[in-house]
Structure 1
Amino acid sequence: MSEPAVSEPTKARTPGAKRAGPGEYLFELAKVNHILGGPDYSTANGACVEGDRMIVGLMRMAAGTGAEPHSHPNEQWIYILEGTFRATIGDKPVEAGPGALVYIPAGTIHSGGATSDGDVLFFTVKDASHSLHGIKA
């Protein structure tokens, strides 16, 4: 049995993101356009690449900055590479350091940011049912 065809948008769902095209299999994130992770609610910025079913980003938040409460209709994973990330997901406080993986269910209001000790560098993945950007709460 074959899998259903996936429609291929001609442009990225997220303004400024790199859309993976036919035959593109490697992306040097340092050379990909850097965008804001949430233009009206977050200081996160970095590279974003979109495929047919997933969106990935390598984002940085400067020390002492972060994201105001927001949500998005797609679920999200955040893998911490550097720094300490303090967040509230729903009503639960979370503190994550390097090597930790944070899960944010679709539609859940959340906020978070880097501690004053240093920047947070994180790799994030979302399903492509919506863009990288969320909606400020």
Structure 2
Amino acid sequence: MTTALNSRAARRLFAVAVMVGAAALLTSCASPTSNTAETSAKSAEAALPTVSKTISLPAADLDWTVLPDSGGVQYANVRGDLSGKGPYEAFVKFPAGADNPFHTHSKDLPTVVLSGTFYAEIDGKRTEYGPGSYYDLPADLEHFSGCTAAAECLLFQYQSDHFDLNPVKK
């Protein structure tokens, strides 16, 4: 029963992640900083692949891969490939207490926290994101990030191009 409950909870969390991501995408398309809604919609269209068939990935069927030189961070691709080229959507697991070095990303990094408490430290200010939280780090923003020691973190992330972590010297 615990496995069925965990699987059901994972499916609900995935559905919430997709809804939050879609809401964030729609919100960004209506941003007053964009030239027109049409331009924003075209950018959003270009960022993510078109869904041509149903994607169904029960939690038990996710294929987890360890991200090299990450201290045990794992990812499971949903669309695209986090470690490849082009846009992707993926679940990401951080071990409890795992910290990233001071770094940037070359593309915006929208993220939904599904479990655990993830943090980002920007300009000396640390913000913690518990389950159900959403954040979107702009490209080239220098920051620290990681998972608090209390529990493993499960995230859902997507980017318009491959994932990268570019270390920054202090």
**Same fold at TM > 0.5:** yes
What is the alpha-carbon root mean square deviation over aligned residues? 3.1
Q: Which residue of 1 aligns with 2:65?
A: 35
In the alignment, structure 1 segments of 5+ residues that lack a partner are 8-19
Change beyond 3 A, Cα 1:135–1:35:
farther
Task: Give the Å deviation of 1:107.
Answer: 0.7
TM-score, length of structure 2 as denominator length:
0.56
Contact 1:44–1:67 (CA under 8 A) maintained in structure 2: no
Q: 1:124 to 1:75 in 2, by over 3 A?
A: same
- What does the per-residue CA deviation read over 1:71-115, in whole Å, with 9 as the maximum and x for residues that have no partner? 121000111111111221354311110111011100112222221
Give 1:84's match in structure 2, choosing from 86, 95, 117.
117
Q: What is residue 45 of structure 1 aligned with on the other side? A: 74
User: In the alignment, what sits opposite 2:141?
Assistant: 108
**Cα distance change of structure 1 residues 42 and 24 upon mapping to structure 2, 3 Å threshold:** farther
Of the two, which has the highest radius of gyration? 2
Q: Contact 1:43/1:66 (CA < 8 Å) preserved in 2?
A: no
Count of residues paired in the alignment: 118
* Richer in helix (by share): 2
81-90 vs 45-54, greater mean Cα deviation: 45-54
Q: Which amino acid aligns with 1:121?
A: L
How big is each residue's C-alpha offset from its partner over 1:1-42, in whole Å with a ceiling of 9 and x where there is no partner? Answer: xx7xx99xxxxxxxxxxxx899554152654543345x3355
Using structure 1 for the length normalisation, give the TM-score.
0.68
Of the two structures, which has the highest relative contact order with CA contacts closer than 8 Å and spacing of 6 or more? 1
Unaligned runs of 5+ in 2: 1-41
Residue identity over aligned pairs, in percent, reads: 22
